[in-house]
Structure 1
Amino acid sequence: MILIFVISQCKPTAKMSKPNLKFREGTEKDSRFILNKVTDLARFMDTEDMVTLTEEDFAKEFTSENKFINLLIAETDEEDSKFVGYAIFFPFFSSYSGKRLYLEDLFIEEKYRGNGFGKTFFREITKIGINKGCYSMEWTTLPDNDIAVGFYKSLGAINKTETEKWHAYYLPKDVFMKIANSSTMSITPKIKFREGTEKDSTFIFIKIVDLSKVSGSDNLVTLTEKDLEKELKNKFINVLIAETDEEDSKFVGFSLYFPFFNSFYGKRLYMEDLFIDEQYRGHGFGKLFLQELSKIGVQRGCAGMEWLTHPENNGAVRFYKSHGAIDKTETEKWHAYYLPKDVFIKMANL
C-alpha cells in the first residue's frame, strides 16, 4: 500500500467569471514559484518548520536522468495567462493492485476555488495516469479538512484508513541516517542480500498472496504474476531478497521498495512490502532489512522512509516504533484515500 500527501487549503471564495484553463508540464524553471506555494500551504497548516525541501533539491528532480515526478500547472487560457493551480504526482506500485498514480499535492489558487477546477485537475491527471499504465490513484488528507473530504468523496474516493484501517508510518531523516550508518548485527544464520529480477516474479507473487492472507485482505489482490514480472523487468520497482549465506541457500525474506517524492522533505524511500519467512522471525532479520534499505536509500539520495501498516498488527507496530518510526496517522491525523479502478477510468473519460 502506498502513502501520499494531498495538502488542500479549500475555502469557498466569491464567484467570479470562470476562465478557460490550459495545462502545461512544469519544469525546473518553475521550482522556486512552486516551492513558495508549498511553503504557503505549510504556513497555513502551521507546519512551515517541517519544510526542509530546497529549491535546488526540487529542481534536481526535473533534471535527473531518473526523473519520476510530474508537475502539472494550470493557467488561464489567455494572452496574459495567470496561475490557477498545480499538482505533483508520479506512478508508484502496489503489491495488491499493481501500477497506480500517487498524488502528492493538489493546490488551487484561492480566487479560483469553487469553479470546478479541482475536478478538472483530477480528470487531466487520470488521463495522464492511463497513458502511463496506471488505473487507480492514491493520496492522503486531513479528516478535519471537511471541504476537501467532501470533494474527494463526491468523486467516488474511498478513505481506506477508515475502511481498511491502514496507518501511515515514517522514519525521520535523523533516524533513517542513523540506521543506515549503524553496524551490522551478527545473526545466525548469516544472510546475504541480492537484487531480485523478473526471474523471481513467480516466487515473490506467491509470497505477496500469502502476506495478503495473513492480513485477511487476499480479496483485494488484483495484481497478476505477469504484471509483477513486467515491472521488475522494466525496473519500475525494486525487490530486495534475503537468503541464507550458504551453498544450499534458503529464502529468508523480501522487500518491495521504490523512491518517491514528498513536497515537504524531498526524495524518500517507500517500503511497499516487508516479509520475513515464518521460521526466521524473531531473530533480528527485520532490523537487517531496515539497515539495508536505509543504506540503499541514502545511496539514492533519499532522506527518510515511509510505509503503511495495520494498527492491530501488534508485532509489526512494536518493531517499527522500537526503531524510531512515527505513526503519522496517530500523531498528525493523516488519512489515506484512493480512487478505485472503475472510478479512475470513468473520470479519465469524462
Structure 2
Amino acid sequence: MSLRLREARPGDLGLVVHFVRALAEYEKLLHEVQATEEDFRNLLFGTPARASAMIAEWQGAPAGFALWYYSVSTFDGRAKLYVEDVFVNPGARGQGIGKALFAELARRALAEGCSRMEWSVLDWNAPSIAFYRSIGALPREGWTLQRLSGDALRELAATAPPPGGAPAAH
C-alpha cells in the first residue's frame, strides 16, 4: 500500500476545485458549483482560515481529498468537526483511502477536544451510506438540515438591527 495523506497547500487549489467538481458531478449537482480557486484560497489560506483540506495520494498521484471545519455543540459545550466533503477518485476506491481520510479526521477531532464528527449524505447515496455504517457512523434521526441562501438570506439580513442600534420594528 502506498497511501500518503498531507495538508493541502496553496499550489493544490486547482486540485481542490477538481475534486469538488468531481464530487458534485457524482452527486448530480455540478450545476451548483460556483467556487473558484480564489474562493478556496480565501477559505483555506485566508486570515483567518475558515476550513482545512487534506489531499490523499495513492502511489504518488492525487486520489482524493477531505475538506472540514470546526463548529460547536452548545448542548455539550465542545467543538465538533464538520466534514464538508470527502471524495476518492472512482478508480482509487476500494484501497482504504476513504477510511484512512475519516480515521485521520477522527484523530484530529479527538486531538482538538471535539465531542464528535458530523457530515451530511444524500439519501440516495447507498454506497456512501453503507461505507459510513461500516465505520460506525449513525444517522441523526429526527433532524432535518435547513438552508437559508440567495434572496431569502439577503431579505432576512436586511431586517437585522444596525450594529449597536435598536431592534428593527416589526
TM-score calculated relative to the size of structure 1: 0.44
Which position in structure 2 is the counterpart of 1:169?
146
Cα distance between partner residues in 1 of 2:26 and 2:129: 18
1:134 aligned onto 2:114: yes
Query: In the alignment, what sits opposite 2:3?
Result: 21
* Residue ranges of structure 2 left out of the alignment (5+ in a row): none
Q: Decide which of 43, 63, 66 is 1:61's aligned counterpart.
A: 43
Rg comparison, structure with higher value? 1
Shift of 1:42: 1.6
**Distance in 2 between residues matched to 1:88 and 1:177, nearest whole Å:** 27
User: Aligned residues, how many?
Assistant: 167
Structure 2 match to 1:122: 102
Mapping 1:168-207, distance limit 5 Å: 168-182=145-159
2-structure distance, mates of 1:149, 1:63: 31
Q: State the 1:116 CA deviation.
A: 2.0
Counterpart of 1:110 (choices 83, 90, 95) is: 90
Partner of 1:94: 73
Amino acid of the structure 2 residue aligned with 1:91: Y
Percentage of matched positions with identical amino acids: 28
The two structures have a TM-score, normalised by structure 2, of 0.87
**Letter of the 1:134 counterpart:** C
User: By how many angstroms is 1:63 displaced?
Assistant: 2.7
Q: How far apart, in 1, do the equivalents of 2:26 and 2:41 lie?
A: 24
Measure, in 2, the Cα distance between the counterparts of 1:183 and 1:108: 41
Query: CA 1:119 to 1:183, structure 2 compared with 1: closer, same or farther past 3 Å?
Result: closer
- Which residue matches 1:50? 32
1:35 to 17, 20, 23: 17
Give 5+ residue unaligned stretches, structure 1. 1-18, 185-191, 195-244, 246-284, 289-350
Structure number with higher relative contact order (C-alpha < 8 Å, ≥ 6 residues apart): 1
The residue number in structure 2 matching 1:73 is 55
Describe the superposition over 1:176-198 as per-residue Cα deviations: whole angstroms up to 9, x where unpaired. 123223485xxxxxxx977xxxx
Larger relative strand fraction: 1
Pair 1:76–1:116, CA change in 2 (3 A): closer
